[in-house]
Amino acid sequence: MTRALAARGACVALHCQTSLAAAETLAAELRASGGTVEVFSADLRRASEADALFEAIQRRFGALHVLVNNAAIFERRPFLELTDADWERTLAVNLTAPFWCARRAAALMVAQGQGKIINLACVGGARPWAAYVHYNVSKAGLIMLTESMAKALSPTVQVNAIAPGRVDFSEAVDAGRDGRVTPDDIVQALLYLLGADAVTGETLFVDAGYRLGLTPDRVARQA
């Protein structure tokens, strides 16, 4: 997503927490190709750091037109083994942090008269997995947060979500045809939503039909 946005001329504020070296490497690569990318580090589990992040972005760029809420954790825990710490950590990163970031971003966007917020949800928020109860709940909450913010911020700010299915990062993937999703499918969904001014409060499922029960095996049998 960062590459696609930078390639289209966006000035990108790239957030990271622990992967600073990887973020700096990517930023350097994109700058070498003429992109404008700055790296910002913050622990989004802390409201004070989220606030400081957006203050730093505003100082550097002066405006904020798009927020992509992409930070998340995905940990398997059978329900009877799920601890309070597991629950609180997952909701803090997957739901509370996007709320904090969206609230700060929305204030800037409303002041400037326009903006778009894109939340990265997941098909698990609509079709739950048994061993990921905490994750499912966090993503279902993010979908409802998307709808609620869209209503609260209309018509100035459009708020939408992308809910990927199983993303395959290998190169030998026939996207959609075999029931899997590629990173480029997510990028294309993002670019669509950024250009769709009449779309708000929607969750775009990019899952090759997984939510409808089309697993890779069933897709192959129906082909």
Domains of the chain: total? 1
Non-local CB neighbours of 184 within 8 Å, separated by 6+ positions = 175
Q: Is residue 190 part of a domain?
A: yes
Token pair 């609620």 is found at 148
Handedness of CA 67, 113, 195, 164 (dihedral sign): positive
| Domain assignment present for 29 | no
Task: Give domain status of residue 139, yes or no.
Answer: yes
What is the pTM assigned to this prediction? Answer: 0.91
Answer whether residue 43 is part of any domain.
Answer: no
Task: Kindly list the averaged pLDDT for each block of 10 residues, start to end, along the chain of length 223.
Answer: 94 94 95 95 95 96 96 96 98 98 97 97 96 98 98 98 88 58 95 97 95 66 39
| Domain range enclosing 103 | 74-222
Q: Is residue 13 part of a domain?
A: no
Q: Find the CATH number of the domain harbouring 83.
A: 3.40.50.720
Q: Is residue 168 part of a domain?
A: yes
Does 84 reside within a domain? yes
For residue 169, give Cα distances in angstroms to 13, 126, 182. Answer: 24, 23, 6
Residue 2 lies in a domain: no
Side chain identity, residue 193: L
Catalytic residues: 135
